[in-house]
Amino acid sequence: MRETLLEVKNLKTYFNTNRGLFKAVDGVNLTINRGETVALVGESGSGKSMTSMSIMKLIESPGEIVDGEIIFEGQDLVKLTNKEMNQIRGNQMAMIFQEPMTSLNPVYTIGNQIMEPLRQHQKMSKNEALKRTVELLELVGFANANRMINQYPHQLSGGMRQRVMIAMAMSNNPSLLIADEPTTALDVTIQAQILDLMIDLKKQTDTSMLLITHDLGVVAEMADRVMVMYAGQIVEDTDVLTLFKNPQHPYTKGLIASMPNIDSEEKRLKTIKGMVPSANEYPSGCRFASRCPYRQKECDQVQVLTSITEGHKVRCVLATKEVKDIAATSGG
């Protein structure tokens, strides 16, 4: 069994605003083992990006981590000062953001931006950092790396900028790479190239990865395990094969059913009716109940993430009821 690298326990990140208390992340538990890729899936507004930003401790006021633990490499990040976190960010833990143009500094060359974390965390000389920067750019597919180091972000295409972001993230050989919608702003052809690159890099380095996405096609290609998030909570947690073959939460089923399928005779794409509730107006019971086609009276009660089989957890009364009924029938 692989060693646990990251364990998040009962994480709660709230925003106290003049419009009320927004519970962006509300009691999230997740684990990532060494060398494992875990995908966090859900619609916009589900809390995926806020979960990743909380793990990196990049939440800004009026947001605050109000409860929970983030155990990484044996230490609780919640208790660390910002100075201590700066030694971890970009070093043991790195992040690829969804829009590289806003993440890269427009007034510095690509070479300077990749060299900075190398000199900060590994105390390299300028020449050592320059040599390593060229190697990193070659690693992510730039044949003309020596010329690339003098380019500015605005001189690069979206796909090229994303490759630079990946090079920066991988510069210090992090134990954990968080990729927040890494292909969203790219066209389909470039998306495939970036995904292939990330898969190759992961094989070479055995880096663990938390992949934030709404694209189940990306999940199927990259993830070992999947956590489906809805309204600030994890509603299903299982391995990637089980998720697609035997989804149990109605929300997961709706997401999978809404995927385009060229073999389907349906002319219209299926959708999940309604919208994710606002983070300051969550219902007291199941947060998906108002959109769920299987709603029952028990759905008005608080739902708990429950194991239905080994390695498969679901936050749904229907799934847990079926397990109890099977156990009762078999005399278990």
Residue 262 has pLDDT above 80, yes or no: no
Distance between CA atoms of residues 291 and 273, nearest Å? 6
Residue 326 has pLDDT above 50, yes or no: no
Residue 282 has pLDDT above 60, yes or no: yes
Which of 62-66, 182-186, 280-284 comes out lowest in average pLDDT? 182-186
Supply the pTM of this predicted model. Answer: 0.89
User: Burial code of 36-72, b = ≥16 C-beta within 10 A, e = fewer?
Assistant: bbbbbbbbebbbbbbbbbbbbbebeeebebeebbbbb
Please state, for a pLDDT cut of 70, what percent of the chain lies above it: 94
Length of the chain: 332
DSSP 238-290: EEHHHHHHS--SHHHHHHHHTS--TT---SS-----S-PPPTTS--SS-TTGG
Distance of CA 243 to the CA centre of its chain: 16
Distance between CA atoms of residues 200 and 204, nearest Å? 6
The helix-helix angle for 158-170 and 126-139 (nearest 10°) equals 130
* pLDDT score for 290: 93
* pLDDT score for 64: 96
Given a contact cutoff of 8 angstroms between Cβ atoms, the answer to whether 72 and 176 are in contact is yes
Coil, strand or helix: which one is 159? helix
* pLDDT score for 72: 97
Q: pLDDT by residue (tens digit) across 221-245?
A: 899 999 999 999 999 999 999 999 9
Q: Which residue has the tokens 């692989």?
A: 2
Task: Provide the mean pLDDT of the chain.
Answer: 90
Q: pLDDT by residue (tens digit) across 87-129?
A: 999 889 999 887 767 778 999 999 999 999 899 888 899 999 9
Helix ranges restricted to H, the chain: 48-55, 82-86, 100-103, 110-121, 126-139, 145-148, 158-170, 188-205, 216-222, 240-245, 250-257, 317-329
Mean per-residue pLDDT for 174-197? Answer: 86
Given a contact cutoff of 8 angstroms between Cβ atoms, the answer to whether 45 and 91 are in contact is no
Distance between CA atoms of residues 220 and 241, nearest Å? 8
Q: pLDDT by residue (tens digit) across 158-171?
A: 888 988 999 999 88
Q: pLDDT by residue (tens digit) across 129-160?
A: 999 999 999 988 898 899 999 999 999 988 88
Q: Which residue has the tokens 């974390």?
A: 117
Residue 83 has a CB neighbour count (10 Å cut-off) of 7
Q: How far is CA 276 from CA 43, 180, 190, 268, in A?
A: 8, 20, 30, 22
* pLDDT score for 330: 47
Residue 332 has pLDDT above 60, yes or no: no
Please state, for a pLDDT cut of 90, what percent of the chain lies above it: 66
Q: How far is CA 317 from CA 88, 309, 320, in A?
A: 40, 15, 5
Given a contact cutoff of 8 angstroms between Cβ atoms, the answer to whether 270 and 257 are in contact is yes
Mean per-residue pLDDT for 275-303? Answer: 93
Angle at 327 between CA 321 and CA 332, to 5 degrees: 145
Which residues, in sequence order, are bridge partners of residue 312?
309
Coil, strand or helix: which one is 39? strand
* pLDDT score for 263: 65
Which of 8-12, 113-117, 196-200 comes out lowest in average pLDDT? 196-200
Half-sphere exposure of 179 (CA within 13 A, CB side): 32
* pLDDT score for 212: 94
Cβ neighbours for 280, distance < 8 A, ≥ 6 positions apart: 17, 19, 20, 21, 22, 23
Given a contact cutoff of 8 angstroms between Cβ atoms, the answer to whether 224 and 239 are in contact is yes
Which of 137-141, 199-203, 296-300 comes out lowest in average pLDDT? 199-203
Assign 1 a pLDDT band (cuts: 50, 70, 90).
low
3-state percent breakdown (helix, strand, coil) of the chain, nearest 5: 40, 25, 40
